[in-house]
Structure 1
């Protein structure tokens, strides 16, 4: 679900950047600081109050927050509980799954690889991962690490996500991207792609002969002293002081699901703490330095913060926003640049990082619930007070409404199936639909009668999904258990022999990935 969350934008960087090209570095004067000690103290006090209020009013079960300024951690605190209804308190050392906030961490790892000389941002992915293919042979030869980290590879945004849901391995998902019809030409448009970025990370790690998980640990987590941070789910699951995922609504959160994101680890598989992530923020704002120690090359890291492609409108400012390499790059009405990224699992995680490099200031907010806009709202309130000394609006209702709308949209397509027809046409005998169906992207799907109804089985473990008859040759199923309103249609196309010849799964893309042809009858 991560790919549906990020639709931001910004264009106002062009004139400021053009101005910088017309002067020499010696003519540039450092802008006056807008964040004064008085404003910063007031902003931190209000941040503390609002975070406490968000937890006490049931806005989220738990929060963990870090703020850094001028290379110092100036705020570090946990609020609420790790699991709703249980006594374990969230602390700065509570481990959260950070979802897509993993992406700017991944680009930091690749920047370390680039600064070592083992790769460049403009290396084709196939230089380091010779087996990688896209459907277009020219794009296969040309797509670079930069393209994959900027979401401009031409892949549709959801490519691979559907395979991940039913249990395909990372290697197999990346192999099957060769069967996906491109959504656009290479570098022509932005499409947020978890598995495009995953390929970029895997290819870069192969340039130094390592797995992604080992590269991240050796090049970033250990040098920064991030002892509680991992790119492996098993490490999160083995930690006692971990925040569980929650879904529901304000005041009624429930820890119902587990999200195992190893297949897309570079794009969404990091687990970490506010304490650890504060060190990573210091590294970003320090241009690759942590204190007096160089961790990542300045030039390679700086590439990640530059705007590479326009991506839409920022919902808070209405301005065009950009994507860099693993970072959202936004400009506000005053021309200030912010580097940021949200993370979300619809199974129950919300995270947010925002850095203001001109003020050497950054904030991270981790929460254990979805849907909620609390992380962005707390950051927006903090920056309002730190920069302007007052709030421009009440940000919590704004961001909560945005994420609730997003959550509601997941099930909107299934609304047509919420109420069956009053007088549905009868189906054929269930044996007419039973059989094995196939396409090269998804592989086999099995349809079989079980206990008087049809069951659809998907993925390498043949995960079962019960089918409910809707009308004639149309059935429905629930692809995502955390979205009970998101029913999808399963349409069988019947031949003259009154047997289904193919089946279309309505929740999959209409570019051919959702259409399957019968390859055998079920015994």
Structure 2
């Protein structure tokens, strides 16, 4: 009886609590299942979502305290929203010329990777290279630590971060002031994880691929990107050169977060990794690029990039976010694009950009809704642009915000922005062992990977200098032969503390010892 009753209840439920007519038949879709979303879009989905952007942006500006932001939306080939918020420079006051506009130029940081992938797709379409072209075909000097991988690693491998290089390989060399060629040549000294089955995000791996594509074209990467992408799209405020950003009158200065405020204290010159993080642009310009992506490489009446050359960049090439349980959706990386599936079963393309010294950016594309949004900010990343684009995506798909994106992204970025160093938060020894005499510590200490570290003494103060920048960092005694030093850079947030350990003619720098290469010899 219980089974019969349950079956009867199920029949009623499936019938919608009504008895269907005998001649009724369901409406069946003839669209292939992988293209069918879980639900239809709400009525006027994009228009209603756009109508809430002013409110969302204002709330996020107020709650985060970031100086400035610009936001734009493209739908059905047209820009349907474009607006600036806040200030370009907190020290210049709230005057008209200091307010962010749609044409204000921001540094894009890693959002540059998706633009770079589009540039490469143009070259793939032109037959100059293929996504499967080995780097050494056009960069015979390039090498990784495994000769077999060196011969095989392709443009696509680097653009999908599956070469086996360590996470963010080479970034700290860039922070020290080394140029692109020097950093790329040092990649051969780093250990490799399994080739093509491991994912680790690398700015300079992707940059190496960009260099190979540029070499195949016979021109510098910066000029190639301008010739095949920026100029054809009319992106007149977009460049892959830091000098061009510096020369813009209407630009948003980068602001680093200091305690609860933001200050424009540093400049971020990302020229060494231009393909991966060196682009600057405005949301006005980026709407033209987003429209190109939504149109599968078409611009106006011209097929600027063949759809078949662009498609590999926008589709999964490597697992970047493995699930932690069976029910969890997997995150993927294409070639320069994050690729995922939303809870509405719609494919989503995106990428963020982050400069500790003052840039946070994000774009998000939902191809099935023919809509894209981009948000640029001029502050240390705290998840603001990601929150805005995620709330917009929820509104488009569901008509309401379904997740607490503000808390989720705030917590995620707080972990990323945490100070580094094993001594962070630890009290200094109350009775430390005496330090060795300064005369026993000063000198030049050589390291084949990082170059020479120079320890100097002046007026009783020891300093450490390293790399082309040779910024002198004061050494503060901690205990015995252990000293500490601090500095702010793209990979060393405010509050970071590193150890410098002297042991005879050996000097080990904790911050530079991630891959076991932090020991210098006098």
Please report the TM-score for the alignment, with normalisation by the length of structure 2. 0.88
Match of 2:161 in 1: 151
* 1:272 maps onto 2:278 in alignment: no
1:195 aligns to what? 204
The corresponding residue for 1:336 is 346
> 2:245 maps to which residue?
236
Structure 2: distance between partners of 1:58 and 1:284: 31
Structure 1 partner of 2:314: 305
Instruction: For 1:108-123, list aligned pairs within 5 A.
Output: 108-123=118-133
How much does 1:456 deviate? 1.1
SS of the residue corresponding to residue 416 of structure 2 reads helix
Among candidates 303, 325, 337, match of residue 335 of structure 2 = 325
CA distance in 1, matches of 2:422, 2:331: 28
Between the aligned partners of 2:323 and 2:358, the Cα distance in structure 1 is 24
Q: 1:314 to 1:89 in 2, by over 3 A?
A: farther
Q: What secondary structure is seen at the aligned counterpart in 1 of 2:143?
A: coil
- Equivalences for 1:359-398 in 2 at 5 Å? 359-398=369-408
- Whether 2:460 is the aligned partner of 1:444: answer no
Q: Is structure 2 residue 85 aligned with structure 1 residue 75? A: no
* Counterpart position of 2:498: 488
| Bigger radius of gyration | 2
**Higher mean C-alpha deviation, range 99-108 or range 393-402:** 393-402
1:308 CA drift (Å): 1.0
Pick one of 493, 513, 517 that aligns with 2:517.
513
How far the C-alpha of 1:458 sits from its partner, in A, is 0.5
- Structure 1 residues 388 and 412 mapped into 2: Cα distance closer, same or farther (>3 Å)? farther
Among 124, 127, 135, which residue is 1:125 paired with? 135
- Residue of structure 2 in register with 1:474 after alignment: 482
Q: Deviations over 1:288-307 (max 9, x none)?
A: 11122121121111010111
Contact 1:108 1:301 in 2 (8 A): yes
| 2:298 counterpart residue number | 289
Relative to structure 1, the CA distance from residue 171 to residue 102 in structure 2 (aligned partners, 3 Å threshold; closer, same or farther) is same
Cα 1:226–1:346 change in 2 (3 A) is same
SS at match of 1:335: coil
- The answer to whether the Cα contact below 8 Å between 1:95 and 1:273 also exists between their aligned partners in 2 is yes
Unaligned runs of 5+ in 1: 1-25, 494-499, 519-523
User: Of residues 55, 60, 82 in structure 1, which corresponds to 2:66?
Assistant: 60
The 5 Å alignment of 1:384-463 reads 384-408=394-418, 410-411=419-420, 413-415=422-424, 418-463=426-471
CA distance in structure 2 between the partners assigned to 1:163 and 1:505 by the alignment: 14
**Superimposed CA distance per residue, residues 228-281 of structure 1 (whole angstroms, 9 cap, x where no aligned partner):** 000000010111110111122797222221111100111100000000000111
Partners of 2:421 and 2:511 within 8 A in 1:
no
Structure 2 CA distance, aligned partners of 1:331 and 1:461? 43
User: How far off is 1:149 after superposition?
Assistant: 0.4
In the alignment, the residues of structure 1 paired with residue 341 and residue 104 of structure 2 have an alpha-carbon distance, to the nearest angstrom, of 32
Match of 2:231 in 1: 222
Deviations 1:70-129 (A, max 9, x none): 111111111111112423010010000010000011111111111110111111101011
SS of residue paired to 2:219: coil
- 1:450 Cα deviation (Å)? 2.1
May I ask how many residue pairs the two structures share in their alignment?
483
CA contact (8 A) 1:58 1:252 kept: no
**Equivalents in 1 of 2:109, 2:31: separation in Å?**
42
Whether 2:198 is the aligned partner of 1:186: answer no
Equivalent-residue separation in structure 2 for 1:393 and 1:153 (angstroms): 34
Q: Which residue of 2 aligns with 1:5?
A: none
Q: Does 1:254 align with 2:263?
A: yes
Q: Which 5+ residue runs of structure 2 have no aligned equivalent?
A: 1-29
CA contact (8 A) 1:180 1:513 kept: no
Q: Give the whole-Å Cα distance in 2 for the aligned partners of 1:313 and 1:246.
A: 33
1:507 counterpart SS class? helix
> C-alpha separation between the residues in 2 aligned to 1:278 and 1:251?
32
Misfit runs of 4+, over 3 Å: 26-37, 56-59, 410-414
CA distance in 2 between counterparts of 1:365 and 1:28 reads 33
Q: Is the 8 A contact 1:438 1:516 kept in 2?
A: yes
Report the secondary structure of 1:415's partner residue: coil
Question: In structure 1, what is the Cα distance between the partners aligned to 2:461 and 2:194?
Answer: 44
With over 3 angstroms needed to count, the CA separation of the structure-2 counterparts of 1:382 and 1:27, relative to structure 1, is closer
Q: What residue in structure 1 maps to residue 17 of structure 2?
A: none
Say what the alpha-carbon RMSD is for the aligned residues: 2.0
Q: For residues 414-456 of structure 1, what are the alpha-carbon distances to aligned partners after superposition, in whole Å with 9 as ceiling and x for unaligned?
A: 415x521000000111121222212221111111222212211
Match of 2:46 among 34, 40, 43: 40
- Which position in structure 2 is the counterpart of 1:16? none
